[in-house]
Amino acid sequence: MYFIAVVAPDEINEQVLKWKNYMKENHGCVVALRSPAHITLVPPFWMDESLQSKLISSITEFSKVQRPFQIRLKNFSAFKPRVIFLFVEPNQELEGMQNELANTLISAASFPIEQEQRPFAAHLTIATRDLHKKAFHEAWAVFKEKKYEAAWTVGGISLLRHDEKKWEVIFTSQFDNILS
Identity of the amino acid at 179? L
What CATH number does the domain containing 32 carry? Answer: 3.90.1140.10
The pTM (predicted TM-score) of the whole model is: 0.93
pLDDT tens-digit profile of 152-176? Answer: 999 999 999 999 899 999 999 999 8
Mention every residue, 6+ apart, whose C-beta is less than 8 A from residue 90: none
Positive/negative CA dihedral, 10, 157, 115, 48: negative
Is residue 91 domain-resident? yes
Q: How many helices, marked H, and strands, marked E, lie in the chain?
A: 4, 8
Mention every residue, 6+ apart, whose C-beta is less than 8 A from residue 61: none
Question: Could you tell me if 169 and 160 are in contact, meaning their C-beta atoms sit under 8 angstroms apart?
Answer: yes
pLDDT tens-digit profile of 40-96? Answer: 999 999 999 999 999 999 999 999 999 999 999 999 999 999 999 999 999 999 999
Range of the domain at 153: 2-172
Taking the C-alpha atoms of residue 117 and residue 40, their distance in angstroms, rounded to an integer, is 14
Domain count, the chain: 1
Is residue 19 domain-resident? yes
